[in-house]
Amino acid sequence: MAKQHVLIGVTLDKFNGFTPSMLISGLDILGMKFVEVTITVLGELETFPRKLGRMQTAFHLPLVHETGWDLSCLEHADKIAQLIADLNKHHALLKIHHLVCHPPECIHLGNSLPAAQEFLFANLKKLDIPVYLENIPEYTPQEFTQFYHQARQELGAKIAGICYDAAHYYITGIDPVTQYTELASEIGCIHLSDCEEKKDAHLPFGLGQLPVKDILKAIQKSRYKGYVTLEILPHSMQDLDAYIRSYLTTLYYLDYKKYLLTRMRLFFLRPLINKFIK
């Protein structure tokens, strides 16, 4: 996590018929230098890398509730092997700085946790890219800490640190500010989005109940210099303004100079943005 500046970006996936290759240009116009991508971009190797420019990326490894498998699912060994081969081959082309990985979730499919965890660690060892482990609602803070330390012991420097997801703590009744403060020394990437009391709804800031400003103040106070991904999932172009406001709020607390520059960009971009919203 030896970075001089925080990098703030968004989750980039298919949206409203637009592919990541089509959407990346709009994020570049906003001045973003970082995005977090998914397995979708592996189907766009002819187009997506050309649009990246000087952007860096992170790659969120597959999730059971999205793809039906993750890297702990023994019954999907062939798909996992292909993904590992693709990432090792193309990570430089896709400018992947790090991977984000959840603890085993295939236990929902009937797999035993020890076997799933062992298989996950074995697969992570095969990857040539650093990995951040993300807290998930299914794990208590104590369970996640135990998993994290087991992974560090097993995989060593391959585990770059923790991906802190504030909403994952909040929806289980755990204070996300306290958790950030306790884990700050291990955190190298952050996921932020607003949420409902018991649902990880991936909302723009201000549309849910997460104490977003308190969290941003804690991050600011810690002089954090890692990566921040806004995991906001807009439902339509009508959400674009709220999406941009969330990005601006994050910049305001964590990169004020870029906040001012982005406000200037938006002044000139407003007529174009209004066309998409209408």
Domains of the chain, residue spans: 7-277
Q: From CA 189, how far away is CA 187, in angstroms rounded?
A: 6
Chain segment 204-214, per-residue pLDDT in tens: 999 999 999 99
The residues facing 164 across adjacent strands are 190
Tell me the C-alpha distance between 176 and 162, whole Å.
Answer: 14
The confidence score (pLDDT) of residue 276 equals 56
Say which DSSP state 15 is in.
Answer: B
**What is the reported pLDDT for 277?**
53
Lowest mean per-residue pLDDT among 13-27, 174-188, 219-233 = 13-27
CATH 3.40.50.300 fits 7-277, yes or no: no
Give the pair of three-digit tokens for residue 67. Answer: 């793809």
